[in-house]
């Protein structure tokens, strides 16, 4: 996928993502959409999201192997588990600002 393919084309991206999007449980296509459709900073957003995900982990999940296992067994992606408001804040912070 080229970097500009879905810029300003949310509908086109979501149609493509329906059959082609995979992120191994960290992102859903909808919460990832600001990256390909608005050119937002997905690397920083991913780091920020994973920092918040650590707070969702049970207290007995402390080793890297246990963390990886916990993430692999999630029923929904981490972004959905965090929710829309948290994801809006993450995307805003990833761009150097804060969500309103």
| pTM listed for this prediction | 0.80
Enumerate helices (H) and strands (E) in the chain, giving the number of each: 7, 0
**Cα separation of 53 and 6, whole Å?**
28
Of 93, 99, 85, residue with least CA distance to 51: 93
Q: What is the pLDDT of residues 49-93, one digit of tens each?
A: 999 999 999 999 989 999 889 888 888 999 999 999 999 999 999
- Assigned token pair, 50: 């994973």
């Amino acid at each position: 996928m080229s970097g500009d393919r879905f810029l300003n084309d949310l509908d086109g991206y979501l149609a493509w993502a329906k059959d082609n999007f995979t992120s191994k449980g960290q992102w859903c296509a909808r919460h990832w959409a600001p990256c390909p459709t608005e050119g937002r900073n997905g690397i920083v957003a991913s780091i920020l999201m994973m920092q918040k995900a650590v707070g969702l982990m049970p207290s007995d999940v402390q080793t890297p192997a246990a963390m990886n296992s916990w993430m692999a067994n999630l029923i929904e992606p981490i972004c959905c588990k965090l929710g829309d408001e948290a994801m809006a804040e993450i995307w805003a912070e990833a761009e150097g600002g804060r969500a309103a």
